[in-house]
Structure 1
Amino acid sequence: MKLLKKYQHVWIVPVYGIFYLWAFQYLEQRNVKAHIIHLKLDDMIPFCEYFIIPYLMWFLYIALTVGYFAFINKNKQEYYQLIFTLGLGMTLFLVVSYFYPNGQDLRPHLTGDGFFISLVRHLYRIDTPTNILPSIHVFNSVACCIAICRHNSFKHPRTVKIVTFVLSVLIILATVFLKQHTLIDVFSAFALNIVAYQMFYKPHPVRQKQPEQIFLK
């Protein structure tokens, strides 16, 4: 009982995670015509299969970051700032995908059977080139990078922040070098992060007077 009370703030993560996965699966499977997103600049970016490594590291990166702020970090406000940011971006992504079905036509024809090519081929097989705006890979990476860079309780904060920044940049580059996203998806994810930062990180008079109404205790 004590354990449940101590981590009662965490319940929202699995509950929302189940909802998000169900909604995303529905969007992926529904039969609607997708609006193709494509910039000429996208064609200038070469395909590079080696970026599959940072692309796949994204899953561990997000899980470890959320896990750290949920279970290890004692500052609950930082935890809520992170999950509210992630929740806002992922929810708006679902809304955009529902009302504006979108996709891309950038994926190359893969040849060869090398290890990295095989990983990309598997990724293409399980992840359709639809529902890409904004890029959740980019949005969540930037959101987690901001949360970590603002946090100062790590044992070696400078090293952690440098590694986090480099990994985030590699993940963002991976989305376009693997032809998973267009530059529009990337730019829109950055723009959405700016909005979320203003909402959840910038001080506001209401938040200063009644923080418990914004961040649950």
Structure 2
Amino acid sequence: MILLKYIRNFLVKYSHAWVFLYGLIYFPWFTYLEKNVTNNFHIIHMAIDDSIPFVEYFVVPYFLWFGYVAAAVAYFFFKNKHDFYRLCGFLAAGMTIFLVVSTIYPNGHTLRPESFAHDNIFTQAVAWLYSTDTPTNLFPSIHVYNSLGVHIAVTKSECFREKKKTKFVSLLLCVSIILSTMFLKQHSFFDVITAFAMAGIFFCLIYMKSPAAEESYEKQFHHI
């Protein structure tokens, strides 16, 4: 009985976990694209891409992206339902657009180096990354977009109002992840700027509500 009561209370307190059901849409769709968009795609390239060097050390922040996003989602899930909904709404909106774009406009690039100048743990990690991640389905870059989403959530949350060090670390990680997408030749500069553009749009829609709209949202939010 005690266990059942605990489970019931947990489900009531964290009823917003329904948001994670979005994964049942995103992951199968993304997996389908990764397996099927392997040729006959539009090449994404800008002249500036040829001037950006390959820097294998940026594989570290590139992989830290997974923890960065997961940690932010988990933190707000347990600490602040309002910020959790805003962050997940931001992420889901952009990720859905990314899936739609990749479906109707198959795309990829040919920026990856054919060989590495060095043989070290970093280039070995990049080689593994290349073997598991196809150079397709690129824009808007989800690595860039989600990083911006997490940093925006951190800076706009009351939970971090007085935590300047945390916001600074978030900014450094966000910037380094964005740079990593280009220095590892995972994305074209075009993918980055389209991610910024999309982030700007959803920032205005989700975080820049008028006081009246925010009050209305708060009333709806407390009923979920």
Question: How far off its partner does 1:152 sit?
Answer: 3.4
The answer on whether the counterparts of 2:49 and 2:188 sit within 8 Å (CA) in structure 1 is yes
> Would you tell me which structure has more helix in proportion to its own residues?
2
The size of the alignment, in residue pairs, is 214
The answer on whether the counterparts of 1:207 and 1:214 sit within 8 Å (CA) in structure 2 is no
Residues 175 and 216 (structure 1 numbering): CA distance in 2 closer, same or farther, change over 3 Å? farther
Larger Rg computed on CA atoms: 2
Indicate the residue corresponding to 2:86 in structure 1. Answer: 81
Structure 1, unmatched stretches of 5+, are: none
Greater mean deviation of Cα atoms: 76-85 or 205-214 = 205-214
Residue 60 of structure 2: which of 39, 46, 53 is its match? 53
For residues 181-210 of structure 1, what are the alpha-carbon distances to aligned partners after superposition, in whole Å with 9 as ceiling and x for unaligned?
Answer: 001100000000111011111123444345
Question: How far off its partner does 1:30 sit?
Answer: 1.5
Indicate the residue corresponding to 2:110 in structure 1. Answer: 105
For residues 60-115 of structure 1, what are the alpha-carbon distances to aligned partners after superposition, in whole Å with 9 as ceiling and x for unaligned?
Answer: 000000000101x23x2211111000000000000000000000110001235311
Residues 169 and 216 (structure 1 numbering): CA distance in 2 closer, same or farther, change over 3 Å? farther
Distance 1:63 1:187 in 2: 23
Residue 200 of structure 2: which of 184, 194, 198 is its match? 194
Residues 216 and 106 (structure 1 numbering): CA distance in 2 closer, same or farther, change over 3 Å? farther
Residues 125 and 70 (structure 1 numbering): CA distance in 2 closer, same or farther, change over 3 Å? same
The answer on whether the counterparts of 1:65 and 1:144 sit within 8 Å (CA) in structure 2 is yes
Distance 1:213 1:101 in 2: 38
Distance 1:215 1:78 in 2: 12
Residue 36 of structure 2: which of 20, 30, 40 is its match? 30
SS class of match (1:134): coil
Distance 1:115 1:199 in 2: 42
Read off the aligned partner of 2:61 and give its amino acid letter: P
SS class of match (1:130): coil
Question: How far off its partner does 1:156 sit?
Answer: 6.3
Structure 2, unmatched stretches of 5+, are: 1-7
Structure 2 residue 48 is matched with structure 1 residue 41 = yes
Distance 2:161 2:219 in 1: 29
SS class of match (1:147): helix
Residue 68 of structure 1: which of 75, 81, 84 is its match? 75
Distance 1:155 1:191 in 2: 26
Indicate the residue corresponding to 2:5 in structure 1. Answer: none
Residues 216 and 185 (structure 1 numbering): CA distance in 2 closer, same or farther, change over 3 Å? farther
Residue 176 of structure 2: which of 170, 193, 196 is its match? 170
- How much identity, in percent, do the aligned residues show? 43
Structure 2 residue 183 is matched with structure 1 residue 157 = no
Question: How far off its partner does 1:213 sit?
Answer: 4.1
RMSD: 1.7
The answer on whether the counterparts of 2:82 and 2:221 sit within 8 Å (CA) in structure 1 is no
Indicate the residue corresponding to 2:127 in structure 1. Answer: 121
Indicate the residue corresponding to 2:98 in structure 1. Answer: 93
Residues 93 and 216 (structure 1 numbering): CA distance in 2 closer, same or farther, change over 3 Å? farther
SS class of match (1:153): helix
For residues 136-181 of structure 1, what are the alpha-carbon distances to aligned partners after superposition, in whole Å with 9 as ceiling and x for unaligned?
Answer: 0000000000000112324961110000000000000000000000
